Amino acid sequence: MVKSSDISPKIALAGCGYWGSNLARVLAEKGVLGAIVDPAPEAAALAAQYGVLHLNEMAAILGQDDFSAVVIATPAETHYVLARDALWAGKDVFVEKPISLEVADAEELAALARGRVLMVGHLLHYHPAFLRLKQMVDAGDIGQLRYVYSNRLNMGKLRREENVLWSFAPHDLSMILALAGEAPEKVWATGQGFLNRRIADTTMTHMEFRSGLNSHIYVSWLHPIKEQRLVVVGDRGMLLFDDGEPWQGKLMHYKHAVEWKDGVPVAAKADGMPVALEETEPLGAEIDHFLECILNRTTPRTDANEAIRVLRVLNAAQSSMESGETVHFPAKSDHPPARNYFVHETAAVDDNVTIGNGTRIWHFSHILGNSRIGENCVFGQNCSVGPDVVIGNGCKFQNNVSVYKGVTLEDDVFCGPSMVFTNVLTPRAHVERKDEFAPTLVRRGASIGANATIICGNEIGAYAMIGAGSVVTSNVPAHALMIGSPARRAGWVSRSGERLGEDLICPRTGERFAEYEDGLRLIEEAHGAPLVRKRK
């Protein structure tokens, strides 16, 4: 177990609803909770109870060096954006299930997490009963797996944002996939919505595996009693994990068998034997594992790859419910997928590079190893990227731009010809300083003019504009227009790049902005439409 004194700095918790409040308690017990981020009034009361900061938005945490990690327990549709922003800011991240709603977003998070800890809250992987059950299955205590089924039933905890499949089933999918050790071959699912036709209150998901294993998952939040059972059937016995039982009965081993008498199968029943377990709170063990991964820089048991496997099946089950069709998973192929981006014959792309759809890399450019480039990016002639660089979607690089290790670009960043990034403050040819790389973050929509220089260790705010030839030596606020050497703010610009007057209204679009400590923020969309922000 990790001691709280071993972990410094503190952790920020985003979201303190039903499950977030449990996370707040455990993080506080372990002495690592530093802030609660949630605009709800009850969040302020909870923060006061634990004597930590209360903030309304995650942006206030991401720039603070004394918060090295973020725990995300917000609605599922916000997971991707919050986790992405935290990883971009160099934080370690724990995000509750599901990791995101789309597989492509989860894969992007996995790529962004190079060098950072990204752990997903699949709680039952830290439950002593499931850990012991998996040990017994792996050891062959019940022979070859034949069938696995789970029931996760309750009355209440109704959702308006997500159906019961996405709310309840990830736990059981995660366990079943871990036991199977493979992806399913077929998935089909049914669901019914009784309170709201668009949101299923009960679902049944069936899976078939190439090994011959079959399984089903039944979940409902309209059930008269609470039931959380996982039944694992082998050809030489069965295991029952019943989380509703006291510790001495949570995991039972049944040495049932089938005997053949005169060509007729006969059940040979045996009494269930309780399996001894260590009584440990799963949530506490899960957070301990996260802290250990932070301390030791190790990969979590439930990392992004494990979460992506679960997400693929969730999406397949949702698709099957909507279409009424069985979803087939293709067998693994030795042939790599067709390339859907363009690399000129004179350009070079090293191993372990991810390039998104529609990206174009032109003459004599070089993409170094372990770099990730998003979709629809364009690299002009003689560009160099990497190693270990992350570039978002829709970025544009004109000729002779180099993006070095330590530099991260969000979506839609423009880099003019021959602009310069640095990653060491005091370079010497004869002194090795790779361990002194200072990170540089360029936020979404920023533009950097020709021959500008961005000194490392600084952040360029969203939609900022850096004038040609300028030298940036400090953080740049969002929407700032920067010129000179050293660069100074000469005004504000809109998202479309128009210079703003004193009224802070974009002359091109009519968008209205307001000034905050970190720069401008959009407060009214074009044509007077009020800006609606999703709660995070």
pLDDT mean across residues, the chain: 89
**Residue 196's pLDDT is what?**
81
Residue 90 belongs to domain with CATH number: 3.40.50.720
For residues 112 and 354, what is the distance between their CA atoms, to the nearest angstrom?
11
How many domains, in total, are found in the chain?
4
**pLDDT tens by residue, 179-209:** 999 999 999 999 998 888 788 999 999 999 9
For residues 301 and 256, what is the distance between their CA atoms, to the nearest angstrom?
32
Residue 392 belongs to domain with CATH number: 2.160.10.10
Tell me, yes or no, whether 444 and 390 share the same domain: no
Cα dist from 329 to 178, 303, 306, whole Å: 17, 22, 17
Tell me, yes or no, whether 8 and 105 share the same domain: yes
**Residue 533's pLDDT is what?**
34
Tell me, yes or no, whether 48 and 81 share the same domain: yes
Across the strands, what pairs with 476?
A: 460
Q: How confident is the model at residue 65 (pLDDT cuts 50, 70, 90)?
A: confident
**pLDDT tens by residue, 469-492:** 999 999 999 999 999 999 999 999
Residue 260 belongs to domain with CATH number: 3.30.360.10
Tell me, yes or no, whether 165 and 110 share the same domain: no
Tell me, yes or no, whether 244 and 356 share the same domain: no
Tell me, yes or no, whether 242 and 339 share the same domain: no
Q: At residue 219, does pLDDT exceed 80? A: yes
Cα dist from 371 to 107, 388, 407, 443, whole Å: 14, 5, 11, 18
Residue finishing a domain among 97, 116, 135: 116
Average pLDDT over residues 78-101: 92
Average pLDDT over residues 81-92: 90
Handedness of CA 523, 528, 529, 530 (dihedral sign): positive
Q: At residue 330, does pLDDT exceed 90? A: no
Q: At residue 121, does pLDDT exceed 70? A: yes
For residues 479 and 515, what is the distance between their CA atoms, to the nearest angstrom?
10
Between 213 and 3, name the one with better pLDDT.
213
Q: How confident is the model at residue 263 (pLDDT cuts 50, 70, 90)?
A: low
Q: At residue 267, does pLDDT exceed 80? A: no
- Asked if the structure places residue 291 within a domain, the reply is no
Tell me, yes or no, whether 180 and 321 share the same domain: yes
Between 282 and 528, name the one with better pLDDT.
282
516 lies in which domain range? Answer: 406-412+424-536
Residue finishing a domain among 116, 143, 170: 116
- Asked if the structure places residue 57 within a domain, the reply is yes
Tell me, yes or no, whether 180 and 98 share the same domain: no
Cα dist from 240 to 34, 251, 268, 525, whole Å: 39, 6, 17, 56
- Asked if the structure places residue 298 within a domain, the reply is no
Tell me, yes or no, whether 150 and 265 share the same domain: yes
**pLDDT tens by residue, 488-509:** 999 999 999 999 999 999 998 8
- Asked if the structure places residue 306 within a domain, the reply is no
For residues 356 and 394, what is the distance between their CA atoms, to the nearest angstrom?
10
Cα dist from 174 to 97, 208, 311, whole Å: 10, 15, 9
Tell me, yes or no, whether 10 and 91 share the same domain: yes
Pair 369, 386: CB distance under 8 Å: yes
In terms of DSSP bridges, do strands 67-72 and 10-14 run parallel, antiparallel, or are they unpaired?
Answer: parallel
Tell me, yes or no, whether 368 and 339 share the same domain: yes
Tell me, yes or no, whether 523 and 455 share the same domain: yes
CB atoms within 10 A of CB 198: 7
- Asked if the structure places residue 533 within a domain, the reply is yes
Residue 506 belongs to domain with CATH number: 2.160.10
Average pLDDT over residues 69-79: 94
Percent of the chain at pLDDT > 90 equals: 69
- Asked if the structure places residue 212 within a domain, the reply is yes
- Asked if the structure places residue 105 within a domain, the reply is yes
For residues 427 and 60, what is the distance between their CA atoms, to the nearest angstrom?
32
Pair 511, 522: CB distance under 8 Å: yes
**Residue 534's pLDDT is what?**
31
Residue finishing a domain among 81, 116, 151: 116
Q: At residue 53, does pLDDT exceed 60? A: yes
Of 318, 348, 321, 338, nearest to 98 by C-alpha is 318
- Asked if the structure places residue 121 within a domain, the reply is no
Pair 202, 164: CB distance under 8 Å: yes
For residues 295 and 32, what is the distance between their CA atoms, to the nearest angstrom?
13
